[in-house]
């Protein structure tokens, strides 16, 4: 770690040119014992055609951030504050009906388990046609033709016949292709993909990632890729946001975050992932676990697990600031930058 | 190389997944058999970690369950420490020699939420293997061994008084490991022990397993679908495809010079941090239906090197030309038809 803060600040927080702009998002869950804040002051932009990876361990708030954008937070959870803009239009305070028109039409969603995303009682053709006709004008015949074209595009052989089949007649990888076809049905500009490859085998995972990348390139679709798998992020994303205990602790271009991480959590996380490219006697270990939402430590939430903790970390919470080529919420690079000035 | 601790000889397990008798009669169809494990030979040496990898449905968990005796084999036999513990030539399960051999094995399961009884305190969970093997163990001795086991895995002896729901996923997996260690086994069968855990917690458990292995001279069969984890922990690796072993080799050789086309395909599909910005080799096709596996080499429909022989003759696991520490089941390798593998992306230091 050089500790030299460069003037490069990727991803300015203005809405200019951004397809999606999330500012100071806060998601709360009121409970009998008080309010739990699951997503804390989260801000990021996604440019058209960009893939933003959001990575973190269970409970970090990554899936909830995605759910907040598409308006799918289950009650009693709610967006307590913050704004979400899609192409400059504010969408976080819209009614259910208005949000339903945006979901599918402008934002597509892909979830982890393709089996639960599809209705087992309807043929995939019927589900595709219904989605297409809900969002796009045109006759049943047009919609059907589009459905077949979509299935061909996502690589389902004999699409004309397969369209009459039910979800259970497809393998796991093929089902996830159908789900991707559904997400693309109305030509959205943004896709929220929540662990899209986690339930799949390695060889199928590679196929699905390549498919996603190709589709985004061809259509200029932006993707928010939520996953715990750094390998998938490394291959797919342009930028990556690392979340910890409800906050973004580091965000920046994917190669910088992976090879020159600045936040001690990101550093530990990268070291904890075994790789087939190197041999190590021991993996880097971050002791302890992520705090529960009921007991988030004061100051920097990572300080009880941090090997480089300073007195200041226990009381004062660092904000995201330029550190190396990324932005990190940590006093360490910020102090180093001050010292070098 | 040290003496073999466990030997699987032509081991097979067939499940009858036929529809009910009446349905079969009405539809005029016969029985449906799933060959989950279809004749495998495998040796695990004392003190080593053998990684077993493969995609879902390839039979790797069935192998684990056969070894610990949760399923009886349909064919073949399992020899542990010189004693036939299951299959052809095995003595009755209550035979003293077999009991003693079996007591040397324990198993760690994938899901630390499902494998611990939520109504039992941790001390009772951890003591269960001792009570099963030696019911006459005095209470004081039991407590002492439970405390020792909990401390061995980095928990406190006082944690024995708590219930599983009071622990995180990683701590629960430590409890599973403590339970497996209470009877001082020499061989642990670990079926995806870290797959349900978060990244940083996975590293903690993998480090713990390695420390315990060094300290207690344990032998592991480590089953995982995650090649990077297996690369980290295993000394040798076996690759399974549709109920058969297609390649066994020392870890370094397998990852540097994979021979079987399926192993090559799997390695090319692994997403890796060092490969930022590179795209993986597209892999064609999916695992065929295990109820109706292809004839000959089960991999031939997806194999770029398949020829007529591959389509009809099942290849046998044998040492490839020029490498006597590896075994591979592939006609192309044995006939020298295998093209050299393009040099993979240069290894970049992650740190």
Helix H, strand E, coil C: the string for chain B is CCCEEEEEEEEEEEEECCCCHHHHHHHCCCCCEEEEEEEEEEEEECCCEEEEECCCCCCHHHHHHHHHCCCCCCEEEEEECCEEEEECCCCCCCCHHHHHHHHCEEEECCCCCCCCCCCCCHHHHHHHHHHHHCCCCCHHHHHHHHHHHHHHCCCCHHHHHCCHHHCCHHHHHHHHHHHHHCCCCCEEEEECCCCCCCHHHHHHHHHHHHHHHHHHCCEEEEEECCHHHHHHHCCEEEEEECCEEEEEEEHHHHHHCCCCHHHHHHHHHCCCHHHCCCCCCCCCCCCCCCCCCCCCCCCHHHCCCCCHHHHHCCCCCECCCCCCCCEECCHHHHCCCCCCCCCCCCCCCCC
In the prediction, which pLDDT does B350 show? 36
The per-residue pLDDT for B346 is 38
Q: Which of B53, B193, B200, B255 to mutate to test the interface with A (most CBs of A within 10 A)?
A: B200
CA closest to B288 among chain A residues: A171
DSSP string, A273-286: S--TT---SS----
Residue A220: its pLDDT value, please? 87
Interchain pair B276, A203: CB under 8 A: no
- The answer for residues whose C-beta is within 8 angstroms of residue B166's C-beta and 6 or more apart is none
Return the SS3 of A100: helix
Contact call for B350 and A205, based on CB within 8 A = no
pLDDT of residue A43: 95
A143-165 pLDDT per residue, tens: 999 999 999 988 888 888 899 99
- Chain B residue numbers with beta carbons less than 8 Å from the beta carbon of A213 are 279
- B4-257 belongs to CATH 3.40.50.300: yes
- Does residue B254 have a pLDDT over 70? yes
Please tell me the predicted confidence (pLDDT) of residue B75.
94
**Minimum Cα–Cα distance from B201: chain A residue:** A289
Q: Give me the residue from B55, B232, B347 closest to A203, CB to CB.
A: B55
Alpha-carbon radius of gyration of chain A:
21
- pLDDT for res A68: 93
**What would the mean pLDDT of B279-292 be, rounded to a whole number?**
70
| Residue matched to tokens 């520490």 | B325
Percentage of chain B lying above the pLDDT 70 cut: 93
pLDDT at residue B1, rounded to an integer: 53
Closest CA to A241 of A48, A36, A50: A50
Chain A partners within 8 Å of B204 (Cβ): 285-287
Contacts of A257 in chain B (CB under 8 A): none
The ranges of chain A with pLDDT < 70 are 1-16, 340-341
- Mean pLDDT of the B22-39 span: 87
> Cβ–Cβ of B271/A232 closer than 8 Å?
yes
Show Cβ contacts of residue B187 under 8 Å, excluding neighbours closer than 6 positions.
B5, B6, B44, B80, B104, B105, B106, B218, B219, B220, B221
- pLDDT at residue A340, rounded to an integer: 67
What's residue A8's pLDDT? Answer: 36
Mean pLDDT of B238-255: 95
**pLDDT score at B144:** 94
Model confidence pLDDT, tens digit, residues B88-104: 888 777 788 888 888 89
Stretch B26-42: mean pLDDT, rounded?
A: 89
Q: Which of B265, B277, B351 sits opposite A271 (nearest CB)?
A: B351
Domain ranges of chain B: 4-257, 258-351
Average predicted confidence (pLDDT) for chain B: 88
8 Å CB contact between B158 and B164: no
Residues B148-157: pLDDT tens digits?
Answer: 999 999 999 9
> Is this prediction's pTM over 0.90?
no
pLDDT of residue B146: 95
Cβ-Cβ contacts under 8 Å, A210 against chain B: 279-280, 282
B273 to A57: CB separation less than 8 angstroms, yes or no: no
Contacts of B304 in chain A (CB under 8 A): none
């Amino acid at each position: 770690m050089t500790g030299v803060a460069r003037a490069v600040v990727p991803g300015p927080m203005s809405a200019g040119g951004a397809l999606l702009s999330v500012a100071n998002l806060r998601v709360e869950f009121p409970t009998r014992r008080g309010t739990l804040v699951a997503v804390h002051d989260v801000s990021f932009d996604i440019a058209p055609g960009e893939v933003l990876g959001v990575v973190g361990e269970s409970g970090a708030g990554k899936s909830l951030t995605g759910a907040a954008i598409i308006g799918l937070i289950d009650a009693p959870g709610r967006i307590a504050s913050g704004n979400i803009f899609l192409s400059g239009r504010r969408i976080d305070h819209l009614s259910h009906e208005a949000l339903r028109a945006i979901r599918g039409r402008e934002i597509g969603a892909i979830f982890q388990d393709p089996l639960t995303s599809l209705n087992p009682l309807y043929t995939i053709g019927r589900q595709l046609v219904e989605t297409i006709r809900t969002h796009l004008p045109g006759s049943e015949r047009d919609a059907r033709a589009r459905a077949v074209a979509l299935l061909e595009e996502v690589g389902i052989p004999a699409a004309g016949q397969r369209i009459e089949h039910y979800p259970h007649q497809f393998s796991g990888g093929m089902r996830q292709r159908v789900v991707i076809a559904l997400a693309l049905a109305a030509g959205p500009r943004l896709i929220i993909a929540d662990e899209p490859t986690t339930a799949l085998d390695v060889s199928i995972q590679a196929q699905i990632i390549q498919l996603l990348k190709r589709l985004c390139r061809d259509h200029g679709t932006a993707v928010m890729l939520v996953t715990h798998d750094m390998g998938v992020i490394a291959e797919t994303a342009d930028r990556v946001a690392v979340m910890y205990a409800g906050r973004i602790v580091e965000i920046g271009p994917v190669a910088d975050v992976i090879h020159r991480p600045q936040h001690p959590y990101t550093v530990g996380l990268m070291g904890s992932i075994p790789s087939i490219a190197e041999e190590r006697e021991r993996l880097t270990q971050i002791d302890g676990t992520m705090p529960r939402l009921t007991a988030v430590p004061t100051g920097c939430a990572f300080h009880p697990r941090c090997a480089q903790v300073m007195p200041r970390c226990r009381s004062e919470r660092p904000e995201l600031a330029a550190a190396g080529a990324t932005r990190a919420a940590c006093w360490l690079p910020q102090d180093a930058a001050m010292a070098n000035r | 190389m040290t003496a073999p601790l466990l030997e699987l000889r032509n081991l097979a397990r067939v499940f009858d997944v036929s529809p009910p008798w009446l349905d079969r009669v009405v539809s005029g169809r016969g029985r449906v058999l799933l060959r989950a494990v279809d004749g495998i030979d495998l040796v695990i040496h004392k003190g080593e970690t053998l990684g077993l990898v493969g995609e879902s449905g390839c039979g790797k968990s069935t192998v684990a369950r056969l070894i610990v005796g949760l399923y009886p084999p349909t064919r073949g036999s399992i020899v542990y420490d010189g004693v036939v513990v299951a299959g052809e030539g095995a003595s009755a399960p209550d035979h003293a020699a077999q009991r003693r051999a079996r007591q040397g094995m324990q198993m760690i399961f994938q899901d630390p939420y499902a494998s611990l009884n939520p109504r039992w305190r941790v001390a009772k969970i951890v003591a269960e293997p001792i009570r099963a093997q030696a019911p006459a163990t005095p209470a004081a001795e039991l407590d002492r061994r439970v405390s020792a086991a909990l401390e061995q895995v980095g928990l406190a002896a006082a944690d024995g008084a708590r219930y599983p729901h009071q622990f995180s996923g990683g701590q629960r997996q430590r409890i599973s490991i403590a339970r497996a260690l209470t009877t001082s086994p020499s061989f642990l069968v670990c079926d995806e022990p870290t797959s349900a855990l978060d990244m940083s917690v996975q590293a903690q458990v993998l480090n713990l397993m390695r420390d315990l292995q060094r300290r207690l001279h344990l032998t592991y069969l480590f089953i995982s679908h995650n090649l990077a984890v297996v690369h980290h922990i295993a000394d040798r690796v076996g690759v399974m495809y549709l109920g058969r072993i297609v390649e066994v080799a020392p870890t370094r050789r397998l990852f540097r010079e994979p021979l079987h086309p399926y192993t090559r395909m799997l390695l090319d599909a692994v997403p890796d941090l060092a490969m930022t910005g590179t795209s993986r080799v597209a892999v064609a096709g999916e695992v065929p239906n295990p109820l109706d596996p292809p004839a000959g080499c089960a991999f031939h429909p997806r194999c770029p090197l398949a020829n007529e022989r591959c389509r009809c003759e099942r290849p046998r696991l044998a040492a490839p030309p020029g490498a006597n520490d590896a075994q591979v089941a592939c006609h192309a390798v044995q006939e020298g038809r295998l093209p050299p593998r393009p040099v993979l992306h240069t290894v970049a230091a992650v740190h």
